[in-house]
Amino acid sequence: MEPPNVALDDDEEDDVAMNDTLHLFPESSSEEALVTSLQDDTVSPEAALDAFDMPTFKSHMPRTGRPCHPVWNYFVRGEKKNRFHYRAYCRFCMDAHNKSTTAGVDDESSKIRATRGVSADMIKHLEQCTLCPPYVVDELLKKQLSLQSKRRASSLHSNVVPVTEEDETNSSRLKRVQVWQATLSAQLDMSWTQDPRLHAWLKLPPLTTDDMLTTARELARSQLDKVKEGMLNSTIKSGLTLSINSWKTRRHQHLVAFSLMNSDGDAHALSVVESEWTCDALETHVRAILRSLHDDLKVSIVSIVADSMLAWTAASRVQATAFPDLLVLPCIAEILSTLIGVIMTSEEQFIGILIEFLAWCRHPKIVEVVVVASAELFGGDSSSAVFSALPNRRQATSYVESIRHALVLEHCFDRIESHLPSSLVESLSPSFWNSLRQLNALLDPIADVFTLLQHPMAATSSSKMLSHVLYTFGRLHQAYTTRADLVELPTAKTVVALIDRMWNLYETPAMVLAFRFDFHLEPTWLASTVMSAVPASFATYSTRWFHTKPPITRIQDILVAVETNAFPFDCTRDYHDVSSFYSGVANSYPELCALCCRLYAMSIFAAPVRQVLRGIGYVASHARTTHDATTVLPLLHIGFTTKISPSTAKIHAKDPNADRWLHAHENQVEMICSKSEWKLVATQWKSHIQAEIAAMPPLEGTSGSENTTLQHLFATTLPPPVEIHI
């Protein structure tokens, strides 16, 4: 019986359809010459060839078709033990092993850790390999970028045919789509396209509201297909996440947006409704949406993620009474923003002084002094960072950047003091700077985990999952309960108590399972009592989700295979995507495949509504937008098809004054520039946080009240995020 045909994408086909004769050096024309060139000159060619001349690596038939990826020049192809990819063995690792081996070995590959034969994983191995020269990775990355640009250019210039009326119509449609996407990406007002002078300059077709609605409907259909694509094409039908976003407009309308999300962060807006802000009203909407998804779209929902506590409570009610298979999660980004808000609003008067100081430091004369002083003290040019120091209404983490920037300015405070008002200088006493350093220490743990938990739409690394949420809570709890500079602070104690309440909004057994099988994290970090409960949790969730309970002996066999790195778990570290790895073990371990594909399909973020709609920030109960539900839905349809990451794509001009004007619109709309503005934001933020905390169930009444406490969850101190290779 022949194996089933498997559709591979372009990259996978490039990696599988390899040339068996690989040349590391241009003058080498054979595998023997290649291996000899890697060996020491004192080693004979026969001895050097022995390590590579094993049956595992012998070629069978010369490959034809597309050439292999250049990274294969640095790897030896191994056996193909599944339907998808060959194993790859690093030539540098094998060369080093051969030099250190004095006795013959039957199978050299048994001593070398295998890498999956996919270009991304192989390049990742070379990046981490201490034996690989740095220039090798640099050249591979350059070739990869060059190849991608050639493919794009080829696709743009291929198939040139005479322009027809239909082509002109399609071109006009494409222009309209691009204009609307650019409008949302640049956060421009919707009316900017109505200026007749603009059409003369840019030669754009006239844009109307009806045209926007047509464009939105077209993009919505394609985006829905994209979101559902992974669910339909995967080996295991893992499912999608229902996201609930809510905010209150300037017209005191409570709007709720329901969206579908996959684990990659792609989102599709289902509906936007105006609702009463009560748990019963939200519960009614959630039930209706879930029923519609099941009956009309035939979509499998595995979890619900909500960006507010009231929406989380309503979804939990629905889950408990009608959909027991679902996991209901709070948005982890909102959890961290709330913790930042608790810290910032506890120092309301102090933060006002900080903002006044930073606002004055944007004056051109002070900027000149700061640039000169920074060059003398630290070297380099810091002018580009001057105008990004003030906090904004969109991202809570902007306060961290402001505080850190102010601490840098402390070193040259004696030079800029004469340019500041005397009343402000009096407030900037030594106690102010001590308090600022203390506040920075309080925010440090949250800022660190925020770098790990970037939203998938803005991140370049793999998607973030439940395992990262478990790490986040553990890391925060340890920081605020063990660091000597934080333990005795009253604010730190408040944060710890709030972390304990927030942690119990999650189901610990599911989080532990996600952590245990995430091969980017170390299971030895978990306490032994927690690890001993993994088999029972495996059986519980298999029964809950798939209505079948694997025998305990089968579960034990799976865990032993994972622990001992038996095939196919012997080369998992090189995988970027944890979910895709487990989808590939369906033949040998179907129970583990089904469990992990579902665990890692759940989005831990709510849909990125705030990146699309200007005016919705971390104080969602006081949003600075007036759009109603009928306007918001088409905007989301367009915005969700556009990768928007303003915080990571900041443009700086060489001239500081030009930089001020470049971002003038954003500064006026988003930035907090005075003590009075901060006072208003702080009042609204504090009210919002109090409402969120009040909506949380009491600690003893949560569904996760039997959860293991955070202080007993881990056996060791968790490393910082920068030391985790994901």
3-state secondary structure 104-127: CCCCHHHHCCCEECCHHHHHHHHH
Token pair recorded at residue 422: 């005397």
> Of 550, 661, 656, which is closest to residue 595 (Cα–Cα)?
550
β partners of residue 258: 244, 271
Please report the pLDDT score of residue 95 as a whole number.
87
Higher pLDDT, 550 or 65: 550
- For residue 520 the two structure tokens come to 């980017």
Q: Judge whether 461 and 724 are in contact, CB under 8 Å.
A: no
Q: Is the pLDDT of residue 550 over 60?
A: yes
The reported pLDDT for the residue numbered 256 is: 97
pLDDT above 90 for 464: no
Task: Return the pLDDT at 57.
Answer: 39
User: In whole numbers, what is the pLDDT of the chain averaged over residues?
Assistant: 79
What pLDDT is stored for residue 263 in this prediction?
83
Which of these, 179, 127, 198, lies nearest to 638 by C-alpha position? 179
Give the Cβ contact number of residue 23 at 10 Å. 16
Using the predicted structure, report yes or no on whether residue 185 has a pLDDT greater than 70.
no
What would the mean pLDDT of 46-54 be, rounded to a whole number? 37
pLDDT for residue 102? 55
Question: For 98-122, what is each residue's pLDDT tens digit?
Answer: 887 654 544 555 567 888 888 888 8
Cα 90–92–96 angle (5° rounding)?
120
Q: What pLDDT shows up at residue 43?
A: 39
Instruction: Calculate the alpha carbon distances from 173 to 24, 169, 222, 719 in Å.
Output: 48, 6, 15, 51
Per-residue pLDDT at 118: 84
- pLDDT given for residue 36 in this prediction: 37
Q: Order of strands, edge to edge, in the sheet holding 115-116?
A: 75-77, 87-90, 115-116
Which residue bears the tokens 């108590």? 497
Which pLDDT band, with edges at 50, 70 and 90, does 437 fall under? very high
SS3 723: helix
**Parallel, antiparallel or unpaired: strands 327-330 and 301-306:** parallel
Q: Which 3 state secondary structure label does DSSP give 726?
A: coil
Per-residue three-class SS string for 499-515: HHHHHCCCCHHHHHHHH
> Mean pLDDT throughout 360-365?
87
Predicted TM-score (pTM) of the model is 0.75
Residue 718: what pLDDT?
A: 93
477 vs 495: CA distance, rounded Å: 9
Please return the burial class of 109, using the count of CB atoms within 10 Å of its CB with bins 0-12, 13-18 and 19+.
buried
Of residues 230 and 72, more confidence is placed in 72
Average pLDDT, stretch 135-139? Answer: 88
- Band of residue 56 on the pLDDT scale cut at 50, 70, 90: very low
- Indicate the pLDDT class of residue 53, thresholds 50, 70 and 90: very low
The residue with tokens 């049956």 is 55
Give the SS3 label for residue 78. Answer: coil
Where is pLDDT greater, at 330 or 127? 330
3-state helix, strand, coil in the chain (%, to 5): 60, 5, 35
User: So what's the pLDDT on residue 388?
Assistant: 55
Rounded distance between C-alpha atoms, residue 604 and residue 468, angstroms: 9
What amino acid is encoded at 434 in this protein?
A: N
**What is the reported pLDDT for 469?**
95
Mean pLDDT in residue range 195-224: 75
Residue 348 has which token pair? 């309301």
Instruction: For the beta carbon of residue 244, count every other beta carbon within 10 angstroms.
Output: 26
Cα–Cα distances in Å, from 413 out to 351, 388, 456, 593? 18, 18, 39, 59
Task: Flag whether pLDDT at 187 surpasses 70.
Answer: no
| The pLDDT of residue 478 is above 90 | yes
pLDDT digits (tens, 9 = 90+) for 82-95: 666 788 889 998 88
pLDDT at 719 over 50: yes
* 560-587 average pLDDT score: 80
Q: Which helix (H) or strand (E) holds 272?
A: strand 267-274
Give percent of the chain above pLDDT 90.
42
Alpha-carbon distances, residue 453 vs 459, 481, 597, 604, 605 (angstroms): 9, 22, 20, 9, 9
CA distance 314 to 320: 10
51-55, 538-542, 604-608, 663-667: lowest mean pLDDT where?
51-55
Kindly indicate the confidence band of residue 685, based on its pLDDT and cuts at 50, 70 and 90.
very high
Is the per-residue pLDDT at 683 higher than 90? yes
Q: What's the average model confidence in pLDDT over 274-296? A: 94
Nearest to 646 by CA among 397, 464, 409, 362: 397
**Mean pLDDT in residue range 198-218:** 73
Mean pLDDT of 18-44: 36
Given a cut of 60, is residue 655 above it in pLDDT? Answer: no
In tens, the pLDDT along 364-411 reads 888 888 888 877 776 655 544 455 588 999 999 999 999 999 998 888
| d(C-alpha 418, C-alpha 490), whole Å | 36
pLDDT category of residue 595 using cuts at 50, 70 and 90: very high
